[in-house]
Chain A
């Protein structure tokens, strides 16, 4: 009979996730499952509400990536108000939204790398957990810790001036935006006192990429062999194949780089993507319909985006992209921990995009909203920090929302996260009767690479701890590790 290891959370998280690792009679890992209890009530909650409330309402989902939900909802409603998809907005409307979005990407990626990932790299994944955190980084690498804090702060300032305020921003409205960027706001972001200006942010983002490359050269075997498995990859790309995190067509490639979803209009996403329900998890498993459940699952997020796009349209990030792609001879990269490398290249790209946008005089113009003929259905997609985010709404003649479907990035990465946990568990836990701290952290590193946001996928209020439970072949708990 199989044995089982379970990892589950404890605190005020209402929805929850856990990992169970089943061991066979020889104590080898037979099966792993990452269970996440997803709270789907939100899609019901918005039904009956006026559609124009959606971009603000969806921020109630959680406070972690409210900008991504705000913009994805606004993009769906652009279609409903007849403003078209993506490029139907006024230049000021579209560019203000892009600035907001790249601010969100910048602060989120900075937070993830400096706050969550760098402790493992700088201090060692098997280091004492009491120091393996950003505080440990602050003690041992104060310059890096300071950069992480201030990059995050800078990104938050970009969001505040574009969304209007930090909480429940109202910047994006159906058909456009409700404010432009004043000269004073622009200059603060463009040439504020050191270090809070865009040139310093680009410099720091570039050195973060260099930091990872240096780390990689010294730890190549660990990084490459940590969790490697082939998969499909999906994201938006610009029509010419460039990376575009705000808008584009939907592209998927397989593990060898062959296009398996060829730049389709995301308004028809439901023709291409299906969500599977499995009895042991409330979080669904999306897959490409034409390939089926077994072969159609895909990754989203930084690793996927650098696998689907043909180039990055900013010079410094493009140069780093070429170095990154050379590592896999131009083929898709399926190394789980290279997600961090990809994320940092996107961090650099986001900083470059912010500078380009700040220098664009369209941001000071006053033509903010586009109007058209009302439609009854709209889909909005955006490349959120963690991956592709889908918002789909239908309304009735009274302007009330009658259907909402959200596929959040973490849900898209459900199967890849399960695959990563399986890979690491087989490598680290086979033949073990107890769960050591390095073993537990290895599982966490595998999940953390995807930067999952359980708040979006569940009913959580922000905290996401993880526990491990080991159960023997007779169903008895033989170890329980609670974080």
Chain B
């Protein structure tokens, strides 16, 4: 059985930026209810270098993030390692960056996806917009099916 990590990131104090963390609450309830053994979850405000160590021992990793891209409600995207360039005061990194670092340090990396969930507002509110909430439920149903087929 494949070892899977679902990792939501974003700031739940910034309205829809909290989609990743809220999504993990749904996954945690599902894991507990179904007594699923091969799925772990994690959350953080943003990704950083230590996540290369976090993902190294998994077969499949799904990152979940709020998205402002032009998508309908959610979108699953496969990610490959990418040597992103440094920014002048960078304190967060991309999924591709984490993946590349994992490969360079541990000489392996998991099959990795990003589940983008459409977000709309980023105010100082600890509550999703109604549209984002609807999207994260839809994305959750999708990811359950995806994981069951993995």
- Looking at the assembled complex, report how far the CB atom of B71 sits from the nearest CB atom of chain A, in whole angstroms: 15
Count A/B pairs, Cβ under 8 Å: 127
Docked complex: A135-158 residues within 8 A CB-CB of B: 135, 138-139, 142, 145-146, 148-150, 152-153, 156
Among A41, A60, A62, A146, chain B packs the most CB atoms within 10 A around the CB of: A60
Among A131, A134, A146, A452, chain B packs the most CB atoms within 10 A around the CB of: A134
Q: Which of B89, B122, B126 contacts A448 (CB 8 A)?
A: B89
- Looking at the assembled complex, report how far the CB atom of B70 sits from the nearest CB atom of chain A, in whole angstroms: 14
Is B48 interfacial (CB 8 A cutoff)? yes
Are the C-beta atoms of A129 and B104 separated by less than 8 Å? no
Are the C-beta atoms of A135 and B101 separated by less than 8 Å? yes
Tell me the nearest residue of chain B to A131, going by C-beta: B83
- Looking at the assembled complex, report how far the CB atom of B95 sits from the nearest CB atom of chain A, in whole angstroms: 13
With A62-B11, A166-B44 as known contacts, state yes or no: A116 contacts B49, CB within 8 Å: no
Q: Interface segment, B13-21, B26-34, B139-147?
A: B13-21
Chain B residues within 8 Å of A139, by CB: 104
Chain A binding surface SS class: helix
Measured CA separation A45–B68 after assembly (Å): 24
Is A63 interfacial (CB 8 A cutoff)? yes
Is B35 interfacial (CB 8 A cutoff)? no
Is B90 interfacial (CB 8 A cutoff)? yes
Is B110 interfacial (CB 8 A cutoff)? no
Interface range on chain B: under 10, 10 to 19, 20 to 34, or 35 or more? 35 or more
Q: Which of A64, A132, A148 contacts B86 (CB 8 A)?
A: A132
With A148-B49, A452-B89 as known contacts, state yes or no: A142 contacts B124, CB within 8 Å: no
Are the C-beta atoms of B53 and A133 separated by less than 8 Å? no
Are the C-beta atoms of A149 and B101 separated by less than 8 Å? yes
Tell me the nearest residue of chain B to A136, going by C-beta: B83
Q: Which of B44, B83, B90 contacts A116 (CB 8 A)?
A: B90
Are the C-beta atoms of B45 and A64 separated by less than 8 Å? yes
Are the C-beta atoms of A156 and B50 separated by less than 8 Å? yes
Tell me the nearest residue of chain A to B18, going by C-beta: A167
Q: Interface segment, A344-352, A356-364, A453-461?
A: A453-461
Is A57 interfacial (CB 8 A cutoff)? yes
Are the C-beta atoms of B43 and A167 separated by less than 8 Å? yes
With A57-B13, A63-B44 as known contacts, state yes or no: A451 contacts B89, CB within 8 Å: yes
Chain A residues within 8 Å of B13, by CB: 57, 59-60, 168
Produce 1/0 per residue, A68-105, CB < 8 A to B: 00000000000000000000000000000000000000
Are the C-beta atoms of A168 and B89 separated by less than 8 Å? no
Produce 1/0 per residue, A105-144, CB < 8 A to B: 0010001001110010000000001111111001100100
Are the C-beta atoms of A167 and B49 separated by less than 8 Å? no
With A116-B89, A167-B21, A462-B91 as known contacts, state yes or no: A60 contacts B105, CB within 8 Å: no
Is A248 interfacial (CB 8 A cutoff)? no
Are the C-beta atoms of A119 and B53 separated by less than 8 Å? no
With A149-B101, A166-B44 as known contacts, state yes or no: A463 contacts B92, CB within 8 Å: yes
Q: Which of B45, B49, B84, B89 contacts A464 (CB 8 A)?
A: B89
